[in-house]
Structure formats: C-alpha cells, structure tokens
Amino acid sequence: MLVTTKYLNSDLLMAPTKIVCVLRNYLEHAKELNSPVPEKVKFFLKPPSSLLANEGTVIIPDSVGSLHHEVELAVLIGKRGRFIPEDEVKDHVLAYTIMLDMTARDLQSNAKKAGLPWTEAKGYDTFAPFGPRAYPPGEFDWHDKRIWLDVNGERRQEGNTDEMLFSVERIISEVSEVMTIEPGDIFCTGTPPGVGAVRSGDKITAGIDGMEPLTVTVQ
Ligand code: MG
C-alpha cells in the first residue's frame, strides 16, 4: 500500500491503479502555455510510483532542466465503475485532496514538438505529492474553492475551482467511457495559471479553501 494513515487521514486509503490527470482545464493556464482548449476532456496518466506524501522531498532528476509546479484538486475514487453517468459520479467519489502534478516542462515541450507521449515529463518518482488529508464529500464541496500555490512564501498560482472548464462529474464520466475506474484511483482536475519552475532548496506550499495545506521541499 502506497498510502498510509501517517499521511492521509482515516480509512479512505487504498493503493491506486492509476492517477488520471486532466490537461488544460483552466482557460488562463491553457493560454499561458499557448495551448488550445479541448472540446472534450483530455487526460494522461501518472504512475502510482510517482506519489509522494506531505512533507516529502521532490527530486529534480539530472535529466530535467525545468521542473514546474501545478497545484490541482484531486478526487479519490471509492467504487468501481464504467460508463458512469454524470449524475451518478457522486456515488463513486470517496474523498477530495490536494495534488501537485509536477511536470518536467522541457521534456514535455520536446515531446509535444515530436508528437510523443508525456509519460517521462509527468512520471518520475516524487512527481505526484498529495495530501495531507482526504475530505469526504460530506465535509467538502468542490465548487467555488480558492486554489493556490506558494514557493518560499511567495504566491505563484491562484484560481478558483469554479473556473474549471470541465466539472468533476464530467471528467470522471468521460474518462469512465474509456477505462474502468477502480477504488483508490486518483483524478487530478487541472491547474490554474501561474505555473513555473522550482529549484533545489525551494519549499512549496499548496492549498484549497477548507483543506489543510500540502507542503513539500525540492531537492
Ligand atoms: Mg496538470
């Protein structure tokens, strides 16, 4: 099991089979990367081996020249499903938490130009810090929440979950048309504007209204 009670509260804990990450779900972030906004939910997978607990250390690999932070609202799945209608997604959501979709931006840019997958750019160990607590739907409503990220105490990213182009319900419903959603799976719902590079020694703190913030250091 990748996740223990030391890092995430309660009994909401299961090892994910996959981490599903939505791309360009905030208009202002798509603009800052000069990327077109998709008409349907577009996504990629991060491996569960990229997970990192709160207060952990994000490692910048030697092969990466520019490691970017992306703060995202994460949704933990509690019940298996396929072809889930939007109005039934709530039956499959176990809890919400914070995740950082750490991205090797230089590798991603090269991959985009070459028409290659983003797996390396998104998939190194420690590239998915998350937590520190999981909030069941009864304790957390994902709408209209401020989402932010600081580096060394300086605000870098800020947005509101209501700015998401695709809702939590639409994301999970559309992805379930492609693949079976399993208990423990994690959905990352895209990042607000302000992404940028981190350096060795930086301290990242990320938060969403109503949640205890997530903190990691960079090495
Ligand atoms: Mg992302």
pLDDT tens digits for range 143-194: 999 999 999 999 999 999 999 999 999 999 999 999 999 999 999 999 999 9
Which region, left, alpha or beta, applies to residue 88 given φ > 0 means left and ψ of -120 to 50 means alpha?
alpha
What ranges do the domains of the chain cover?
19-218
As beta bridge partners, residue 203 has: 217
Sequence-distant (≥ 6) Cβ neighbours of residue 83 within 8 angstroms: 176, 177
Ligand 1 center to 65 CA (angstroms): 18
Ligand 1 center to 145 CA (angstroms): 18
Ligand 1 center to 72 CA (angstroms): 7
Ligand 1 center to 31 CA (angstroms): 14
Handedness of CA 64, 69, 70, 76 (dihedral sign): positive
Ligand 1 center to 71 CA (angstroms): 7
Instruction: For 35-44, write each residue's pLDDT tens digit.
Output: 888 889 999 9
Residues whose Cβ atom is located within 5 A of ion ligand 1: 70, 101, 191
Residue corresponding to tokens 């509101």: 160
CATH 1.20.1560.10 fits 19-218, yes or no: no
Give the pLDDT band (50/70/90) at residue 4: very low
As beta bridge partners, residue 7 has: none
Ligand 1 center to 122 CA (angstroms): 9
Ligand 1 center to 24 CA (angstroms): 8
Listed in sequence order, the DSSP H helices in the chain are 27-32, 105-114, 119-123, 168-175
Ligand 1 center to 159 CA (angstroms): 14
Identify the CA nearest to 156 among candidates 205, 130, 195. 195
Residue corresponding to tokens 């559309």: 174
pTM strictly above 0.75 = yes
Are 76 and 93 contacting, i.e. CB atoms less than 8 angstroms apart? Answer: yes
Residue 29: pLDDT over 90: no
